[in-house]
Amino acid sequence: MAKGFFVTGTDTGVGKTVVAAALIKAAGLLGVKVCGMKPVETGCTREGNVMVPSDGMFLKEIAHMDETVSHITPCCFEHELAPMVSAEMEGTTVDINKITKAFDKLGRTYQAIIVEGVGGLLVPINKDYFILDLAREMGLPLVVVARPGLGTINHTLLTVNYALKEGLEVAGIIINYSYQSEGSMAEKTNPQVIEQLSPVPLIGIFPYLDDMSDEAFEKTVLKNLNMEIIRKYL
């Protein structure tokens, strides 16, 4: 079975793609042959007859993968909605078998896979099949990406505790800044409170990055993430 992480979020727009990229860089720094995967992406742009997944392309570039993006993001949809809804609007469903085949193929080539989910755990992929179910099938420990500001304690603890209740392994939490820090009291106190109340560790606090270069990512990863926790799962 492949090693790696399944990156989920407390909500949409919390910065899962950036955190997935950071984990790819962390694995590389630990000497692990690693790849990225975004199994299903909505809000893709259409170029002729081809759907282009921006998140999938970003992970491909960050991981320096030779595979075509169709192996990284096997299911692409145009409408930026939950996968089930976006697929229904296109008169189809999300092909789980296609995702499984792509995941298995990557697992035969790489030592670790960093998989980025869609939104949170209860985002529907198909009727009665959620992100939670995909994470369970892939068998990877979760990394929960959380916002830094007000409200994140509740959202983070709900996500972590629900995942554990459903029998998923949770490696830890990464608080991600998808914006420049506002220096609010909530931002200052939330990490400590989450550490106190969460049954899983805080892997780190990832700052907002203007520079998305390899060098900037690697430097920020080493400074802000707990590499020993990451190493444990790789």
Give the pair of three-digit tokens for residue 227. 């590499």
* Annotated active-site residue in 3, 38, 127, 188: 38
Q: What end-to-end distance do the CA atoms of the chain give, in Å? A: 12
Task: Pinpoint the alpha helices (H) of the chain.
Answer: 16-29, 54-62, 69-72, 83-89, 96-109, 131-138, 152-165, 185-197, 214-224, 227-232
Contact at 8 Å (CB) between 126 and 47? no
Calpha distance 125→127 (Å, rounded): 7
The residue among 44, 43, 55 whose CA lies nearest residue 17 is 55
Question: Catalytic annotation on 38?
Answer: yes
The residue among 84, 111, 115, 110 whose CA lies nearest residue 99 is 115
State the catalytic residues: 38
